[in-house]
Structure 1
Amino acid sequence: MPGTIDSYETAIGSSGLLDELREFDPRVVGTLPLGLSTPTSDIDVVCHVVDAAAFAEVVWRRYRSCDGFALYQWCSSWRPVVARFEWDGWPFELFGDPRPVDQQEGWLHFAVQRRLLALDDGRLRKAVAEHRARGMKTEPAFAAVLGIAGIRIPHCLHWAVRATRSCGPAWSACKVRRVGPHRSERLRAARI
């Protein structure tokens, strides 16, 4: 793992990031909290940013002297603000979108992946980790393991959320290969 400190949680704590950005509902997502990181993984944080200038000011004021600092705004319809920097050797990427975090693709994908891993008996995590170790990005790795390659993951998100909530027929809508030998082992009735 990158970094000069023991864990990504320590880097987040020592950076003060969650406190600095508390007004923007910061949430850590991605491979590190999923336990699927590789040596090149960064610390991804999604934020609800209605006022891009205010977000940029907070980030600029606190992190501009960090190695690798970059701050920019996308030209897409939502115009998210992105910041990158290193803290104690850990790369951070902040993603500030005007939509509430619960509506952002990064959070939704993370929530679904986390839920699928929670329902897993260990084989899904192992298979995804193997794909990741060979250089595959997280979403394509999940798609390959679950048999939904070629299907845009955002189109399957609502099915995956329904499936993890109800453990019902929505699984087959995205051609998901079940991972356990018995239905009771494949899917456990639980809520996100």
Structure 2
Amino acid sequence: MTDWRNVDYLRHGTAVQREVFNLLTELDIMSLLTDYNPLLVGTVPLGIQVKGSDLDIICEVHDPVEFQARGSRYFGAMDGFVSVSRVVQGIPRTKINFMVKGWPIELFGQPRRTELQNGYLHMVIEAEILALMDEDFRQRIITMKSNGQKTEPAFAQALGLEGDPYEALLELEKLPRSALYALCRSGHTYITANVTVNSDC
């Protein structure tokens, strides 16, 4: 199982993943953000990035003002630096965006452990699904993303998930792994408490 907290796994990955590892190492970004328990999530860890994909680093942030100040101190001189904090459904969320060597980077902070944030939970279940499925499935996801679809809706469409794709993937993450395996290996409909999965895996 991949240790997502340690980006060393990128060192042994694809050419793009190795490039990202070198970039993160050069920036020392994970060390600079260590107080926020940073995790790289999204498409690059999964190897399904497309042109324009960014590097998403989620952080556990309880003081948005201090987080923005630190972001400005470390990365404010980077191209396209923008820092925004707002409250969504009563939860403060902070986004810091900038560009380095052609890579858009987004730091996302909210007052929740990074392992419990949706960005991480989505990535974990997507990784498991990709491991269960064949290369054709992976390429289908990449093609849909190349055509402008977001990652979670692409997975939901490819798996035949109904309802909100972000919530549907979270429901899959809750399944026992034996049930997830059976779902992706069968042609039957699997019903959870909140989502119906019409799997044609």
2:61 maps to which of 49, 56, 65: 49
Residue by residue over 1:74-118, the C-alpha shift from the partner in whole angstroms, topping out at 9 and shown as x without a partner, is 221211110000122211001001011122111111111111112
Residue 169 of structure 1 and its aligned partner are, at CA, apart by 9.4
Q: Find the counterpart in structure 1 of residue 128 from structure 2.
A: 115
Q: Find the counterpart in structure 1 of residue 45 from structure 2.
A: 33
> Which of the pair is proportionally richer in strand?
2
Query: 1:70 & 1:162 partners in 2: Cα distance?
Result: 35
The answer to whether the 8 A contact 2:156-2:168 is kept is: no
Query: 2:105 & 2:176 partners in 1: Cα distance?
Result: 30
Q: TM-score, normalised by structure 1?
A: 0.82
The answer to whether the 8 A contact 1:116-1:164 is kept is: no
Correspondence list, 1:41-190, <5 A: 41-76=53-88, 77-149=90-162, 151-163=163-175, 165-167=177-179, 171=183, 172-173=190-191, 174-179=196-201
Equivalent pairs, count: 173
Alignment gaps of 5+ in structure 2? 1-17, 184-189
Identity across matched positions, percent: 30
Query: 1:92 & 1:70 partners in 2: Cα distance?
Result: 11
Q: Find the counterpart in structure 1 of residue 186 from structure 2.
A: none
Q: Does 1:9 align with 2:21?
A: yes
Q: Does 1:22 align with 2:34?
A: yes
The answer to whether the 8 A contact 1:72-1:81 is kept is: yes
Query: 2:116 & 2:41 partners in 1: Cα distance?
Result: 14
Residue 170 of structure 1 and its aligned partner are, at CA, apart by 8.8
Q: Indicate the larger mover: 39-48 or 74-83.
A: 74-83
Residue 17 of structure 1 and its aligned partner are, at CA, apart by 0.8
The answer to whether the 8 A contact 2:54-2:103 is kept is: yes
Q: TM-score, normalised by structure 2?
A: 0.79
Query: 1:46 & 1:170 partners in 2: Cα distance?
Result: 31
Residue 52 of structure 1 and its aligned partner are, at CA, apart by 1.5
The answer to whether the 8 A contact 2:83-2:97 is kept is: yes
